[in-house]
Amino acid sequence: MSVLVVGSVAYDGIETPFGQVDRILGGSATYISLTSSFFSDDVKLVGVVGSDFADEDIRLLESRNIDLDGLQVDESGKTFFWKGKYHFDLNTRDTLDTQLNVFEHFDPVIPDSWRNSKYIALGNIEPGLQSKVLEQVHRPELIVMDTMNFWIEKTLDQLKETISKIDMLVINDSEARELTGTHNLFKAAGEIKDLGPGHLVIKKGEHGALLFTGDEVFSAPAYPVIDIFDPTGAGDTFMGGLLGWLSYTDDLEPQNMRRAVIFGSVMASFCVEKFGPDRLKSVSEDDIYSRYKEFRDLSLIPDVQAG
Ligand code: AMP
């Protein structure tokens, strides 16, 4: 099934306790589409880049069969640039620089032939723009969306309106608490689902993720990654793995949602092993399925007899 991805395409500068890179391919749409392409052979990307966007990065996306007809090239400026520095715990980061460049006037236009896409990923962009995408698509199976603290603080009403139109929100624990003003994640989840989405994933960084689907709750384990070099893109990669699996199987039943959360976690666990999207370049299908099995074994609980 087709996957339509809308979000940022960027160059990132990254500092972690283990090293730094001045400029590496990044952006929410980049990570989501690269990752979904491991599961779907019909991934379409809508975004904008500037005159400095490198041919080798176009080639990388094309090498994964990602359709770039919706990638606007705005020759009047440079590609969105973001720079972040991670603290020693790797869970928190400071944004050191954000240069919107051509992203400032990004107007997501969905090509006519893409408007029937069945699975839609709304990467982290201004919630009004996310809504604008939804106005252009026809009856998708599943709309999955990400957001960030910045939009919760600046555009809460618009954000809630956009959330009311989607099927699944994927956010981290601090965002869930901030969005609802509720500390307890299970209560916060109920309040978010009351806004509209039938499915919700709350990511807990290195501690796994919670899935709320219908009346069911599923707690996904965290993978013990020994060498975390760079968490950049882990959230987007999670979403790409989750959506990629759902589009590949075209099955939204709770059991398959659980698998999707684990495939999201698998892909995120690869992403953090190298800087930027570098590790995603060399992941194989065998790597993905064998790590899925490791995840499964991590959380198998043996039965006990009462008494
Ligand atoms: P993640 O680590 O999954 O939260 O996503 C990291 C990516 O988000 C980086 O590659 C950045 O280029 C991108 N990013 C950072 N800030 C913004 C923003 N304000 N809007 C859109 N994308 C952003």
Task: Confirm if 138 and 116 have CB atoms less than 8 A apart.
Answer: yes
Domains identified in the chain and CATH numbers: 3-298 (3.40.1190.20)
Q: What is the average pLDDT across 233-243?
A: 97
Reported as a single tens digit per residue, the pLDDT across 248-285 is: 999 999 999 999 999 999 999 999 999 999 999 999 99
Question: Which contiguous run of DSSP H or E holds residue 246?
Answer: helix 234-249
Distance CA 143, CA 88 (A): 35
Nearest CA to ligand 1 atom 22: 8
Q: Which atom of ligand 1 is nearest to the CA of 26?
A: 10
Per DSSP, the three-state class of 90 is: coil
CA nearest neighbour of 197 among 171, 175, 220, 218: 171
Q: What is the Å distance from ligand 1's center to 9 Cα?
A: 9
For residue 120, the model assigns a pLDDT of: 98
Pocket test for ligand 1, best of 5, 6, 8 (most atoms within 8 A of CB): 8
Task: Confirm if 80 and 102 have CB atoms less than 8 A apart.
Answer: yes
Q: What is the Å distance from ligand 1's center to 140 Cα?
A: 25
β-pairing, 19-26 vs 10-16, is antiparallel
DSSP string over 170-185: EEEHHHHHHHHT-SSH
Q: What is the Å distance from ligand 1's center to 54 Cα?
A: 19
Q: Which atom of ligand 1 is nearest to the CA of 12?
A: 12
Distance CA 44, CA 56 (A): 18
Nearest CA to ligand 1 atom 13: 27
Please check the confidence at residue 119 and state whether its pLDDT lies above 90: yes
Distance CA 152, CA 211 (A): 21
Q: What is the Å distance from ligand 1's center to 272 Cα?
A: 15
Q: What is the Å distance from ligand 1's center to 55 Cα?
A: 21
For residue 52, the model assigns a pLDDT of: 98
Q: Give me the percent of the chain exceeding a pLDDT of 90.
A: 90
Task: Confirm if 201 and 147 have CB atoms less than 8 A apart.
Answer: no
Pocket test for ligand 1, best of 23, 28, 79, 155 (most atoms within 8 A of CB): 28
Distance CA 277, CA 111 (A): 27
Pocket test for ligand 1, best of 21, 25, 232 (most atoms within 8 A of CB): 232
User: Which distant-in-sequence residues (6+ apart) come within 8 Å of 286 by Cβ?
Assistant: none
Reported as a single tens digit per residue, the pLDDT across 120-171 is: 999 999 999 999 999 999 989 999 999 999 999 999 999 999 999 999 999 9
Tokens matching residue 173: 């624990």
Pocket test for ligand 1, best of 82, 102, 148 (most atoms within 8 A of CB): 82
Task: Confirm if 60 and 281 have CB atoms less than 8 A apart.
Answer: yes
Task: Confirm if 233 and 277 have CB atoms less than 8 A apart.
Answer: yes
Q: Which atom of ligand 1 is nearest to the CA of 11?
A: 12
Quote the pTM value: 0.96
Q: What is the Å distance from ligand 1's center to 200 Cα?
A: 20
Q: What is the Å distance from ligand 1's center to 27 Cα?
A: 5
Question: Which contiguous run of DSSP H or E holds residue 132?
Answer: helix 127-136
Distance CA 132, CA 183 (A): 31
Q: What is the Å distance from ligand 1's center to 13 Cα?
A: 11
Reported as a single tens digit per residue, the pLDDT across 80-106 is: 999 999 998 887 889 999 999 999 999
> Residue 254 phi/psi, 5° resolution?
-55, -40
Task: Confirm if 245 and 263 have CB atoms less than 8 A apart.
Answer: yes
For residue 51, the model assigns a pLDDT of: 98
| Amino acid identity at 199 | H
For residue 225, the model assigns a pLDDT of: 76
Q: Which atom of ligand 1 is nearest to the CA of 10?
A: 12
Per DSSP, the three-state class of 302 is: coil
Neighbours of 299 (CB within 10 A): 13
Q: Cβ < 6 Å from ligand 1: which residues?
A: 8, 10, 12, 26-28, 82, 124-125, 232-236
Reported as a single tens digit per residue, the pLDDT across 67-78 is: 999 999 999 999
CA angle 243, 198, 247 (to 5 degrees): 20
